[in-house]
Amino acid sequence: MLKFLARRVASGVAMLFVITMLAYGLIYLAGTDIARTLLGQNASAQAVTLKAHQLGLDQPLASRYWNWLMSALHGNLGTSWFSGVPVTQLLAARLGVTLSLVVISVAISAVIATAVGVWAAVRRGWVDRTLQVVSLVGAAIPNYLVALVLVLVFAINLRWFAPTGYTRPQDSLSGWVAAITLPVIALAIGAVAGVAQQVRGSMIDGLRQDYVRTLRSRGLSERRVVLKHVLRNAGGPALSVLALLFVGLLGGVVIIEQMFAIPGLGSLSVSSTTQGDIPVIMGVVVVVAIIVLLVNLVIDIALGWLNPKARVS
């Protein structure tokens, strides 16, 4: 197990290097006139040139990336070219917000999708057919459209929730729950549909296995057979889908954060990209890449726990 972990961590670190290098190159290829964006359209050419020099934009690309990398390896992600706030501070203020949305959405999706998928696989008939139709519809509707409808109905018309904004849990727990309810529902609806289908499929396959017949013939209750044995074996593919879901939601949360004016990593990445605030963009890239790599590692460990054969493959 330790060897397995060490291999995964090493490959993750290598991938992180590649990702940051590609990201850095892509930002500069975008060709944004960062100095002018900082100074405004009416700034003189002289002021723009001076600003570009102050930011090191007149240095070769490789040299700029190397300097950034060396600082990052020492834990210094720099400061925002626009606000002057340390990048780590900006990220720290927003990471928890985004993670709370994504983690809660994934958790809720996992629980509901598992329950619905198992129910459909066991009951079949109209339950199964309904699930398939609902899954198709849920996957087809973009989550920003769902968000728009939720805001219109529950926030603007019924006034049950605030349409925008975010409250930190340390300021008000009930306010925090109220603030994330609609965004989480918008994120989870499409996710539940996809994961439920996966669970349903895996469960149906599992229920057809010979060992299930053997377990039933030994007198185990149907509930024990389904929940303790079949679900565990069917959990592997579903976990993989959940990992993909987590990564997908990290990207999908960008639009949701903008729509609800939630100060998360998604909205930070959009604003910093528009401005060409390279230190912040790279900070977001590093954090998101680390999260994705960690999630994949955790899922691999969980898969190994569920299926011992996977540990040595």
Partner 1 sequence: MRKRLLALGASAVLLLAACSGGGGSATSTAGSAGGSDTLTIGEISFPASWDVNGLSIAHYVTYFDAVYDTLIRQDGTGKLVPGLATDWSYNTARTKLTLTLRSGVKFTDGTDFNADAVVASVKAFKASSTPDLSNAQYISDVKATDATHVVYTLSAPDPMLTRWLTGSLGFMESPKSLTAANAKTNPVGTGPYTLDIAKTVTGSKYVFDKNPNYWDHSYHVYKTLTINYYESPTALLNALQGGQLDASTFADFSSLPQVQKAGYTVNRSQLDWSGLIIYDRNGKQDAPLGNVKVRQAINYAIDRAGVLKAIMDGNGTVTSSVFGKATAGYDPSLDSYYSYDPAKAKQLLTDAGYPNGFTLTMPSSSLINQSLLTTVQQELGAVGITVKYTDVGSNFVTDLLGGKFTSSWMQLASANDWQFAQLALVPKATFNPFHAGSSDANALLATMQSGSDADAAAAAKKLNTYVTENAWFVPFFRIDNLFLSNSHVKVTMAADNATPYLYLIQPAS
Q: Interface residues with partner 1 (CB under 8 A)? A: 30-33, 36-45, 47-48, 50-51, 54, 82-85, 90, 93-94, 115, 148, 151, 155-156, 159-167, 172-175, 177-179, 181, 223, 258-261, 263, 267-268, 270-271, 275
Query: Residue 79, SS3?
Result: strand
Instruction: For residue 210, give both structure tokens.
Output: 């010979």
For partner 1, give the closer residue by CB, 112 or 244. Answer: 112
Output the smallest distance, CB 198 to partner 1, in A: 21
For partner 1, give the closer residue by CB, 6 or 111. Answer: 111
Output the smallest distance, CB 197 to partner 1, in A: 20
Query: Residue 25, SS3?
Result: helix
For partner 1, give the closer residue by CB, 85 or 140. Answer: 85
Output the smallest distance, CB 107 to partner 1, in A: 13
For partner 1, give the closer residue by CB, 237 or 263. Answer: 263
Q: What is the spatial distance between Cα 191 and Cα 241, in angstroms, rounded to a whole number?
A: 10
Query: Residue 299, SS3?
Result: helix
Q: In the Cβ-directed half-sphere of 116, how many Cα atoms lie within 13 Å?
A: 24
Output the smallest distance, CB 115 to partner 1, in A: 7
For partner 1, give the closer residue by CB, 82 or 305. Answer: 82
For partner 1, give the closer residue by CB, 179 or 289. Answer: 179
CA 209, 210, 213, 215 torsion-angle sign:
negative
Nearest to 168 by CA among 100, 105, 251: 100
Output the smallest distance, CB 16 to partner 1, in A: 25
Nearest to 207 by CA among 220, 226, 223: 226
Q: Please give the DSSP secondary-structure letter assigned to residue 295.
A: H
Q: What is the spatial distance between Cα 105 and Cα 98, in angstroms, rounded to a whole number?
A: 11
Output the smallest distance, CB 254 to partner 1, in A: 10
- Which phi and psi (to 5°) does residue 79 adopt? -125, 155
DSSP labels, 247-258: HHHHHHHHHHHH
For partner 1, give the closer residue by CB, 236 or 263. Answer: 263
Q: What is the spatial distance between Cα 39 and Cα 266, in angstroms, rounded to a whole number?
A: 25
Output the smallest distance, CB 62 to partner 1, in A: 23
Alpha-carbon distances of 49 from 55, 144, 165, rounded to whole Å:
10, 41, 39
